Structure 1
Amino acid sequence: MDILILSIVILLYFLIIGYVGYVAWRGTKTSEDYMVAGRKTHPYIMALSYGATFISTAAIVGFGGIAGQFGMGILWLVFLNIIVGIFIAFVLFGKRTRKMGHNMGSLTFPEFLGRRFNCKFIQYFAGLIIFFAMPLYASVVLIGAARFIETTIKIDFNLALLIMAIIVAAYVVLGGIKGVMYTDALQGSIMFLGMLFLLVTTYYLLGGVNTANQSLTNLAPLVPAQVSAVGGTGWTSFPVLGSPWWWTLVSTIILGVGIGVLAQPQLAVRFMTVKSNRELNRAVLVGGLFIFIMTGTAYIVGSLSNVYFFQQTGQIAVQVVEGNIDRIIPIFINQAMPEWFTYIFMLTLLSAAMSTLSSQFHVQGTSIGRDVYETILSKTGDRSILITRIGILFSVIIALVLGYLLPGSIIALGTSLFFGICAAAFLSVFVCGLFWKRTTRAGAIAGMLAGTITSLFWLFFIYKKTAASLGISQALTGQDILLTNMPWPVVDPIVVAVPLAFVVTIVVSLLSKPPEPKYLDKCFEGV
């Protein structure tokens, strides 16, 4: 790439982003402005902010790479992303979250849960989970952007990580959620156009939709022997039912993200930034179309990269990147796309990374400032915002360190694991809190603890990908994993932890004293 042209493009991009962040900073006067944008966000901005936060470099680079390995079967995740992540989230969850959040004066997701059950423990426990677990997700998003910068500009990966972290931290610390959402909307527009061009151009290069898809089908005999041995059948067919390859694709990749999206704190708080249900209804179409193009393009292009690489080099994608699937999309873009598009796609990935990272860092900061500091010490005011900003800086540092330490091919796995942890900890409490008035404080606490503990136990002692790498099980028991019989080593924690959390929440609620009707009336007024 021409460094002069690249520098001009990126400079213009950051000037625009900086101006948008400045406008948001000028409009941020109160804690409500900083936390939920004054509850007056336009539906277009809210939908694009939600979508841009949901779709990061983890989706484009990480899950695009997964598609290069697993094939078109991952398109089932697009279906869940739209039906669950947009329609159910906006229409069923969003409306109740918005109204109840307003009734209770909630400014963060943990505060929403805490006030719904009138329990400070729930609020600061949820805040601590977010603060300590989200750096895993933030770090893989950073890695996704840095991998593309490394491949494209040929600069050191570690330097690319540092640059991305500093840029995002600057406008999140100053602008709060307004700075995050305004820049998200701009970045989401860039992402949409960039990915739409990528989809069309990829099919054009490979001879059209039918020819490209048939060529991918014809590559089935090239599936690596080690993949065939665990159930892989090709890039346009689903893995063998019940095989390790099937369990990884379905339980970790598809269910982990497809269901876990409902319990994402950085997404749920978006519902509390609009003033009425009408804005949420209007946001469904924009959000649905955005998610369809973004995820569909990443997964299709990732799969079809095998055709391109085979035609050019005689090797499939995984062989070209020497096993590190996080490099499939960056190398494909740099080799297959015209040079001018590489500059545009650089902005697309920068936008994807910055939009998600900004929301992640903002949520981590508010979790430590609002949900832990204020809740435990019962202090409010300007000092809380200061603690929030300090929390954001610590979050950036933790994510940066993890970005240096984590291994290759980690982006999609890290994303799925974080989504699964959030689902295990929050989904049962969130769902029951919204739709079942009989849920009690004891039931909510029990469900949250059961889901969190089960999820972590499964990650440390049962799920082979994480348990063997972490070494905790080996150190304590002398075994890499405690359950060796199939399919348990390849069953994602979300499959076990989420149902158990729901059962515990419901059973304990039925066995404990019902909540006070007067308090429930306040929470559910107008819902």
Structure 2
Amino acid sequence: MFEVSPVFYYVIAGYFLMTLVIGYIAGRGNKTSEDHLVAGRSIGPVIGGAALAATQLSAGTFVGTVGVLYLTGASYMWYWPGMFAGWLVSAIWVAPKFQQFKGVTVPDYIEKRYNSKVAKVIAAALIVVAYTVYLVAQYVAGGILMETIFGLPKIWGAIITIGITMLYTMKGGMKATTYSDFIQAIIMAGCFFAAVPILYSQAGGFDYVGRFITELQPTLTGWHWQFKDILGFALAFGLSVAIAPYELARMYTMKSQRTVRLAIGFSFIFQAVIAIAICLVGFAMRSLYPIMNNADAASSIMAVNVLPPFVGALIVVAILAAIMSTVSGVMIVSASAISHDIFGILKPNATDKQKMTINKIATVVLSIIPLIFAIKPFDMVQFIVIVQSSMVASFFFATVVIGLNWKRATGTAALISMLGGVATVLIWYLMQKPFGLNEVIPGVLVSTVLLIVCSYFTKPVPEESLKPFFGK
């Protein structure tokens, strides 16, 4: 714990208050569960693009990625081209068709496209499991942040951060999440980019930092990671972002297909600015603090020890914004998987009010479960995120991308593909990654082969189910 300026308390308290106000105001316009989940399909390209970026830029970016860059250097940045390739896949082959479909949840797509309620329930269950893993990473990051700066036990830091997020998400739904994400994306990009010149003036300048870290450890400016490592990271993030349920759910909120494509373009800008800034932050912190017990604390230590109090407080807010925007998006997607998809199938005559009640209960329960795991020792935040991304890509990439662009894919094949993909990822991970390959590679390969091969031996989907995606 460090001596923290009172400015930190004021700025962070103000930020928490702002998010709660946004949640309250946005929630007043929500009349139905559809309003709650898709924001009235009223979101434009700039706000939508900021929301896409804010949801993607999680604790894995501002805590985990900075920590990995601090430890291993510049070569880790090569996962970003994989991420951007994933966004391009989404913009060309996925997102516009999702927006046109006008569904409410991602499992809605699975049910309609594959004419299978069983596949819908399985997809919803897999979303809940994968995003519970993802929430663990966010909780750990929030705990590290609060512990490093304020000396709070990690569990209490996580509870405070997640509790406030849960409140504004339950009240305001997707509309509150989207508008708060817009503000959060501006805070993330602006604060980290503005911190770079201040940080490097403290560290002795760009030339000094470059020379120092090269002499300290040549691989920091060279190649720490092997090609297969970088390929695994890039595929894990790229394949998952192309079909990430918490991003696809955003597509339903937007006004048109053109809006979706523009929004993805704007999200590129936010993410590119932040990618450059966090790389430079990782280098500077390694120069200023060559030996750090916990690399995930690099961003927090920078905020408290290196930057002026007000700027440091804004950096903390930027990290909290990254955590909270992602957690909010995950809460909505996971809770809707239970209330809209699973409960909706089990009780098809459920009223809208009953679904909203189940949604709120699910939000609370799914917020608490990851806390149980977050208090136990875990690997670095970024590597928890990579495992989760591999799981999502393994069970959704083939069923979404191929399903939207190939009529022959069948419901039975989709079910086998999802289960086979996620089983492969888990087995590969437990076997400690044979041949050094990231688990996403065999996971997506197996799920893709299963979908294609099994489709030729199973009953085709009725033409009526294909019309929303392929026309007449």
TM-score clears 0.5:
yes
Match of 1:405 in 2: 376
SS at match of 2:461: coil
Match of 1:320 in 2: 292
- Check 1:327–1:5 CA distance in 2 against 1; reply closer, same or farther (3 A cut): closer
> Could you tell me how far 1:217 is from its partner in structure 2?
2.5
Which stretches in structure 1 are left out of the alignment for 5+ residues?
Answer: 222-233, 310-315, 465-487
TM-score calculated relative to the size of structure 1 = 0.84
> Could you tell me how far 1:493 is from its partner in structure 2?
1.2
Aligned with residue 128 of structure 2, among 128, 131, 135: 131
Contact 1:137 1:414 in 2 (8 A): yes
**2:118 paired with 1:121:** yes
SS at match of 2:104: coil
Deviations 1:110-159 (A, max 9, x none): 11112111111111111111112212211211221221221112222222
Per mean C-alpha deviation after superposition, the further-off stretch among 504-513 and 410-419 is: 504-513
Cα distance in 2, alignment partners of residues 453 and 2 from structure 1: 47
Amino acid at match of 1:494: V
Match of 2:192 in 1: 195
Cα distance in 2, alignment partners of residues 289 and 434 from structure 1: 27
SS at match of 2:409: coil
Aligned-residue Cα RMSD (Å) equals 2.0
Cα distance in 2, alignment partners of residues 18 and 437 from structure 1: 45
SS at match of 2:43: coil
Cα distance in 1, alignment partners of residues 173 and 225 from structure 2: 47
Match of 1:98 in 2: 99
TM-score calculated relative to the size of structure 2 = 0.94
Match of 2:78 in 1: 76
- Check 1:216–1:2 CA distance in 2 against 1; reply closer, same or farther (3 A cut): closer
**2:109 paired with 1:89:** no
Match of 1:382 in 2: 353
Cα distance in 2, alignment partners of residues 10 and 165 from structure 1: 14
Cα distance in 1, alignment partners of residues 173 and 62 from structure 2: 26
Cα distance in 1, alignment partners of residues 337 and 467 from structure 2: 27
Match of 1:463 in 2: 432
Contact 1:463 1:493 in 2 (8 A): no
> Could you tell me how far 1:391 is from its partner in structure 2?
0.7
Cα distance in 2, alignment partners of residues 398 and 179 from structure 1: 23
Cα distance in 1, alignment partners of residues 388 and 86 from structure 2: 17
Contact 1:78 1:296 in 2 (8 A): no
- Check 1:456–1:376 CA distance in 2 against 1; reply closer, same or farther (3 A cut): farther
Match of 1:419 in 2: 389
Cα distance in 2, alignment partners of residues 396 and 522 from structure 1: 34
**2:369 paired with 1:368:** no
**2:69 paired with 1:67:** yes
Cα distance in 2, alignment partners of residues 150 and 126 from structure 1: 36
**2:466 paired with 1:520:** yes
Deviations 1:242-281 (A, max 9, x none): xxxx544442x33322322123111111111112122123
Amino acid at match of 2:238: G
Deviations 1:477-510 (A, max 9, x none): xxxxxxxxxxx16322111111111011011112
> Could you tell me how far 1:429 is from its partner in structure 2?
0.5
Cα distance in 2, alignment partners of residues 215 and 84 from structure 1: 35
SS at match of 1:405: coil
Cα distance in 1, alignment partners of residues 129 and 225 from structure 2: 37
Contact 1:124 1:372 in 2 (8 A): yes
Match of 1:149 in 2: 146
Contact 1:24 1:179 in 2 (8 A): yes
SS at match of 2:456: helix
> Could you tell me how far 1:7 is from its partner in structure 2?
3.0
Contact 1:451 1:498 in 2 (8 A): yes
**2:422 paired with 1:437:** no
Aligned with residue 220 of structure 2, among 221, 235, 242: 235
- Check 1:435–1:183 CA distance in 2 against 1; reply closer, same or farther (3 A cut): same
- Check 1:206–1:256 CA distance in 2 against 1; reply closer, same or farther (3 A cut): same
Cα distance in 2, alignment partners of residues 33 and 129 from structure 1: 24
> Could you tell me how far 1:349 is from its partner in structure 2?
1.3
> Could you tell me how far 1:325 is from its partner in structure 2?
2.4
Cα distance in 2, alignment partners of residues 3 and 201 from structure 1: 18
Per mean C-alpha deviation after superposition, the further-off stretch among 209-218 and 376-385 is: 209-218
- Check 1:73–1:2 CA distance in 2 against 1; reply closer, same or farther (3 A cut): closer
Cα distance in 1, alignment partners of residues 425 and 173 from structure 2: 31
Contact 1:216 1:235 in 2 (8 A): yes
Which stretches in structure 2 are left out of the alignment for 5+ residues?
Answer: none
Contact 1:70 1:303 in 2 (8 A): no
Contact 1:247 1:491 in 2 (8 A): yes
Alignment of 1:2-13 (within 5 A): 4-13=6-15
> Could you tell me how far 1:426 is from its partner in structure 2?
0.8
Alignment of 1:181-220 (within 5 A): 181-220=178-217
Contact 2:335 2:362 in 1 (8 A): yes
Cα distance in 1, alignment partners of residues 122 and 464 from structure 2: 26
SS at match of 2:242: helix
Counting aligned pairs with the same residue, the percent is 25
Aligned with residue 240 of structure 2, among 254, 260, 269: 260
**2:375 paired with 1:395:** no
Amino acid at match of 1:301: V
SS at match of 1:273: coil
SS at match of 2:26: helix
Cα distance in 1, alignment partners of residues 112 and 258 from structure 2: 25
> Could you tell me how far 1:52 is from its partner in structure 2?
0.6
Aligned with residue 23 of structure 2, among 18, 21, 41: 21
Aligned with residue 498 of structure 1, among 444, 447, 453: 444
> Could you tell me how far 1:511 is from its partner in structure 2?
2.5
Match of 2:104 in 1: 107
Deviations 1:210-241 (A, max 9, x none): 443343323235xxxxxxxxxxxx11112474
Per mean C-alpha deviation after superposition, the further-off stretch among 441-450 and 428-437 is: 441-450
